[in-house]
Amino acid sequence: MGIINKSRIKSPWLLHYDGSSCNGCDIEILACLTPVYDVERFGIINTGNPKHADILLITGGVNNRAARVVKNLYEQMPEPKVVVAVGACACTGGIFHDCYNMLGGINKVIPVDVYVPGCAARPEAIIDGVVEALKVLEIKTAKEVAV
């Protein structure tokens, strides 16, 4: 494993986007950054800029209005990138799945790599999801090398 691949796993920068969430999962994501959970231990930084990010964390399902934004954010992120759907709504649409304006989970718009269930997803679960995402990133970069 080269030094760049090793660094990819050691330094995942997050982009957090609220699709159409009730804000429950968003607060849990922000809780991960507090001294109690301190995700900077893993080199994780909440960037808020798609051009700097490696991992896209999306909360809430996708509605007609947010679909465009989610696609745009995903396309602005440089490769290699991973998408994590946080919370029941982001995974499947959750309790909003029947609404007239909902498309459903994030995977209706962009490819999702890791699903973190829960309503709201607990900070421990979110950190676990990001660590799983790092494994996906590892597999993705290994494939890149093979090709």
Partner 1 sequence: MNQLIIALLVIIIAPVLGGLLSGVDRVLTARMQGRVGPPVLQPFYDVFKLLGKEPIAFNQRQIMWALGYLALMIASLLIFCLGGDLLIIVFTMAFAAVSFILGGFSVKSPYSHIGSQRELLQMLAYEPVLILLAIGVYMQTGSFMVGNLFKQSTPLLVSMPLILIALIIILTIKMRKSPFDLSTSHHGHQELIKGITTEYSGPYLALIEVTHWYELILVLGLVAMFWLQPIWVGILLALVAFFIELVIDNICARLTWDWMLKVTWSSGIILCLINLGIIYVQGKGGM
**Rounded Cα–Cα distance for residues 105 and 85 (Å):** 8
Interface with partner 1 (CB under 8 A) = 3-8, 10-11, 13, 16, 35, 38, 40-43, 45-49, 51-52, 54, 78-80
Closest separation between CB of residue 43 and partner 1, Å? 5
Closest to 58 in 3D by CA, of 86, 33, 30: 86
- Orientation of helix 123-146 relative to helix 24-32, angle to 10°: 80
CB of 77 to partner 1, least distance (A): 9
4/147 with CB nearer partner 1: 4
Considering the complex, state which of residue 75 and residue 98 has its C-beta at the smaller distance from partner 1. Answer: 75
Tokens 């494994």 belong to residue: 135
Contact 48, 10 (CB under 8 A): no
Q: Taking the complex as a whole, how short is the minimal distance between the CB of residue 45 and partner 1, in angstroms?
A: 6
* Cα Rg, the chain, nearest whole Å: 15
Please, which residue, 32 or 90, has the CB nearer to partner 1?
Answer: 32
Name the minimum Å distance from CB 85 to partner 1. Answer: 20
- Cβ proximity to partner 1, 48 vs 99, nearer residue: 48
Q: How far apart are CA 20 and CA 63, in angstroms?
A: 7
